[in-house]
Structure 1
């Protein structure tokens, strides 16, 4: 069976964002581990970031600083960091995909940031703990480390654990 070009390459195919977005406010956003999660910059302190997440289905949310201090705005409802996370995720992935991933039922409207947040807040989401904060922040730091690498087509040593797909002649 012949492999396609991308299956034989050492790079992964990247899905382009739905719309361009600025990375200053929300530098990292992902749909992973059954959550919408990411890193959101503080509006008041340039050295502080928040790790925010919303669980798919029950919309349990958490928001804390990078050193695990609880967000003062996330007391019983979504804080501005979580709202910014949803907004940027819609730019990155598109409203339909975010709504589908979070399992938000949107009635009589096109999926949008407002309808997604409205669909989740109508169910009174519980505030959860920030167990996800450490792995999310760790992945964010790993992404930042890749930005410091010089552009090259040579293999990265940390990625060499992948088994070869075919014998090289």
Structure 2
């Protein structure tokens, strides 16, 4: 067993490639879903909570006020497509494909290929239940960005690995 597996801290994995956070500020592979928050293209004050379930590819997209997305009717909307493409940048295509249990040839794994492989599915009713918890985690994530640089520990962040001071 390696040192990080025996420690009480989580290993931080850097993004596969840099990504722009303006369109998709929050992406995660959690709870058996690819899920995240996507900015609206038409209203700067609106965001969408989008998710795609692993294995079934059941999808959901709704505003932060829990109103359904008008574009997610029987097929992936632009918010879900943006979420999938950004997840490939964040985690790498192979990891996202493996997590979602998609069947894509190894050499063809990228965002558009993943979207094409999953696009023909239909949403399931239980896919929308994730929106509240995803948006809550996103808001918590934003709250950490408001903290100024301090050396005192933040009790709710005790699970993050300590960083070394750069001289």
Distance (whole Å) between structure 1 residues aligned to residue 154 and residue 115 of structure 2? 40
- Contact 1:76 1:127 (C-alpha < 8 Å) held by counterparts: no
**Aligned 1:103-142 pairs, distance under 5 A:** 103-107=101-105, 109-122=107-120, 124-128=121-125, 129-142=127-140
Superposed CA RMSD: 2.0
Q: Is the 8 A contact 1:40 1:52 kept in 2?
A: yes
Deviation (angstroms), 1:159: 4.6
Q: Which has the higher contact order (CA 8 A, sep 6+)?
A: 2
Change (3 A) 1:33 1:42: same
Matches of residues 158-169 of structure 1 in structure 2 within 5 Å?
158-159=156-157
Report the secondary structure of 1:132's partner residue.
helix
- Where does structure 1 lack aligned partners over 5 or more consecutive residues? 163-169
Q: Which runs of 5+ in 2 are unaligned?
A: 160-167
2:163 paired residue number: none
Structure 1 residues 100 and 7, CA gap change in structure 2 (3 angstroms) = same
Task: Compute the displacement of 1:12 (Å).
Answer: 4.1
Look up the SS of the partner of 1:38 in the other structure: strand
Local SS of the residue matching 1:130: helix
Instruction: Identify the match of residue 49 of structure 2 among 31, 48, 51.
Output: 51
The TM-score, its normalising length taken from structure 2, stands at 0.85
